[in-house]
Structure 1
Amino acid sequence: MTSATILLLISASLAPISEALLGVGRTQSVAVSGRLICNGQPASGVKLKLYEKESTFDVKMAEGTSDNNGQFRLTGSKTEISTIDPKLNIYHKCNYNGPCYKKIGITIPDNYVTSGSNAQRTFDIGTINLANQYTGQTTDCIN
């Protein structure tokens, strides 16, 4: 790797941090809700994380777990120059006994991103059966 490539990677990874520290950009927020089931039963205690996708490392905006009925709602905000690119990660063990977790990533559409620190709209993912196989589903040991 050349020194120019390394410098470019470092500056790209530090840009979002410097934007937030310098007050450049605008605060944007997003909310997501839904219900998780496993084999027809509520999936309670499932770990959920709301991220803002970045070119290097995603930035966590919020995290939580599903309630006893499998329902959840997460909200988060971030200051950035361009429109944030939010996604929800769901970490579960439905029909899986491995040492890690199955991870499902769901991209939240741009039209659910609102200005300010309080989300004005909520993206409802509906009911998701974690027993199903989803395109892009992976295994994640570090979450």
Structure 2
Amino acid sequence: NNRTNIISLFFYFFFSQFQRWRRFVFRIPQQYVNDGDKAVQVFDLGTWNLQFKFMVISTFDFTMYTIALPILLALISSANGFIKLDQSVEIHGRFMCGQQPLHRVAIELWEDERSLLKSIAYILLQKRGPNDVYLARTNTNEHGEFKINGTYQVPFIAYKIKPYIYVYHRCDADELPISKSRSAFKLWRTFVIKVPEKYINIGNRALQTFDLGVYNLQFQFVVKFSFLLPVI
């Protein structure tokens, strides 16, 4: 009996002076679905910090490109125009698989270096772009916890880095190989989370930590577009 069970979550936020709802969709794992008029077990999602953005539903900041382009051209025309600045970010979180802490989840921190047009394709597919810059990598400990940080040097103050974490895990996928090599964990289940801009600061050390919260990684995201995409 294959039944598709999808939950749509909406949450409220302020953007400039406008008010709107943000939204993401995920699929309930089949083991939490049962026949009858009463659920036998509860699917516990965990405790989420909803400040994050999933790359599949990210919006693009056209204003930044509009402002940055003339500044960039002006700096290029100057012999010593570029002033390089460090920008830093730090992320903390905990991953579970059901009621068990998820050990050895691989978390990578990347800087989005894609052009605007290429970003559209890669973000929709929730993939890394070929020019994205690797910043750091870590794994969850035996309690499912992790902390990762990185610093990236930018050419001018008007540019804000666009960091994201790429998460590889084996929750409910025990048939996948256990290995620390990149070739093996490329086969694992993955998802991508964009770091909110408010957690990025100038300097070689993050001033505040973006706390993701506690995630039960049994969920699966549902990508809803007019063309068919694989469920991650």
Which residue number corresponds to residue 91 of structure 2?
32
For 1:38 and 1:103, the matched residues in 2 are separated by 14
Instruction: Note the C-alpha offset of 1:114.
Output: 0.8
C-alpha change, 1:138 and 1:85, in structure 2 (3 Å) is: farther
Deviation beyond 4 Å, 4+ runs, structure 1: 135-139
Q: Secondary structure at the match of 2:220?
A: coil
> Which runs of no fewer than 5 residues in structure 1 stay unpaired?
1-21
Q: Please show how residues 112-123 of structure 1 align to structure 2 within 5 Å.
A: 112-123=199-210
> What is the TM-score with the length of structure 1 in the denominator?
0.75
Which residue number corresponds to residue 188 of structure 2?
101
Contact 1:53 1:59 (8 Å CA) reproduced: yes
> Which runs of no fewer than 5 residues in structure 2 stay unpaired?
1-80, 115-128, 178-186, 224-229
C-alpha change, 1:122 and 1:110, in structure 2 (3 Å) is: same
Instruction: Note the C-alpha offset of 1:25.
Output: 2.7
Contact 1:104 1:138 (8 Å CA) reproduced: no
C-alpha change, 1:27 and 1:41, in structure 2 (3 Å) is: same
For 1:125 and 1:26, the matched residues in 2 are separated by 26
Which residue number corresponds to residue 126 of structure 1?
213
> What is the TM-score with the length of structure 2 in the denominator?
0.47
Instruction: Note the C-alpha offset of 1:39.
Output: 1.5
| Number of aligned positions between the proteins | 118
Which residue number corresponds to residue 71 of structure 1?
145
Q: Which has the larger radius of gyration?
A: 2
Which residue number corresponds to residue 45 of structure 1?
104
User: Which one has a larger percent strand, Structure 1 or Structure 2?
Assistant: 1
For 2:144 and 2:203, the matched residues in 1 are separated by 29
For 2:91 and 2:139, the matched residues in 1 are separated by 13
C-alpha change, 1:135 and 1:106, in structure 2 (3 Å) is: farther
Contact 2:90 2:206 (8 Å CA) reproduced: yes
Identity of aligned residues (%): 31
